[in-house]
Amino acid sequence: MEAGVPQVLALTMGDPAGIGPELTVAAWRALRVGGPGFMVLGDPALYPGVPVRVVADAAQAAAVFGEALPVLPVGLACAARPGAPDVANAPAVIGSIARAVELALAGQVGAVVTNPISKLVLKQAGFAHPGHTEYLAELCGVPGQEVMMLACPELRVVPVTIHVSLRGALERLTADEIVRCGRTTAAALRRDFGIAAPRLAVAGLNPHAGEGGVMGGEEGEIIAPAIAVLRGEGMDVTGPWPPDTMFTPPARARYDAALCMYHDQALIPLKTIDMAGGVNVTLGLPIVRTSPDHGTAFDIAGQGVADPSSLIAALKLGRDMARNRSAA
């Protein structure tokens, strides 16, 4: 990597009973020649079938990555069994994330890439956050500034409301929140994606984007005023667009990222277009964070059939974002 950019990324353990361990092994096999290099923060026993090297820091990881999977040890409370999550291991899962963020904030790794966690398991252990995104923001000292993006080569989407029910999303949707997400997204597209003049498309909430208020008034009352604010700040923002037509190939060619009003409005088109290559990105942090766009898949864990494509894409995007951020 270029001068000034750390040579390795920090990959968290994820839930040890999920597909994270086998994805990690597959990613190392795919990337050991050519990179990006990474070290996993987990229990060395989770990664059979490949040479494992216990390391103490990122420098050691960079030195051995071509010959062995570098593991910065994070001990488990009990042995992990594929498909059988154990609440006792939740502290290790959380600790892996915290340690990775610590390394990134110290500039020792280029990015944090997170393996999938089980929100239910962590909640049963007393974890107070809805998921990775909010916990990462707290660890970075910027709670409330986080924005979730899902990205693949053909599309980037940002849900303005995230892990809440559809009813809750309607209650939480405000012009201020759309503006906040728009500002953060535009800044990230410039800094982390190398897009000098980002273009944002904003989805409507209702069918046909409300059709002039006939099918709902949120477009005129909430979304259009937010777009006006963003445009007034010099941003290239269009909308509100009918959600059922704004993800066609010709429409996607006219913007760099889409702001969507709720979780599934954003994630359904992204995962339909490229489930295997989709990447979850957290914007608004002082570090780069990416993740595969799928979950723990306990039902297939340990069977050797999990597709590592999304994790590999997350590692590559993490490297690219770190490079862009360093050059900005």
Annotated binding-site residue? 325: no
Q: Is 213 helix (H, G, I), strand (E, B) or coil?
A: coil
Annotated binding-site residue? 294: no
- Quickly list H helices, the chain: 20-31, 58-64, 90-105, 119-124, 132-139, 166-172, 175-191, 218, 224-232, 249-252, 263-274, 309-327
In whole angstroms, give the CA distance from residue 182 to residue 188: 10
Residue showing tokens 């966690």: 117
Annotated binding-site residue? 208: yes
Q: ∠ CA(290), CA(295), CA(299), 5° rounding?
A: 150
Question: Helices 309-327 and 20-31: crossing angle, nearest 10°?
Answer: 60
Q: Is 5 helix (H, G, I), strand (E, B) or coil?
A: coil
Closest CA to 187 of 276, 283, 259: 283
Q: DSSP letter for 4, please.
A: T
Q: Is 101 helix (H, G, I), strand (E, B) or coil?
A: helix
Q: Decide the pairing of beta strands 155-159 and 147-152.
A: antiparallel
Annotated binding-site residue? 129: no
In whole angstroms, give the CA distance from residue 263 to residue 91: 28
Annotated binding-site residue? 206: no
Dihedral over alpha carbons 129, 133, 134, 137 (to 10 degrees): 140
> Which residues make Cβ contacts (< 8 Å) with residue 277, sequence separation at least 6?
152, 153, 309, 310, 313
Q: DSSP letter for 242, please.
A: P
Burial class (CB in 10 A: 0-12, 13-18, 19+), 22: buried
Residues of the binding site for a divalent metal cation: 163, 208, 263
Residues of the binding site for substrate: 132-133, 271, 280, 289
Residues of the binding site: 132-133, 163, 208, 263, 271, 280, 289
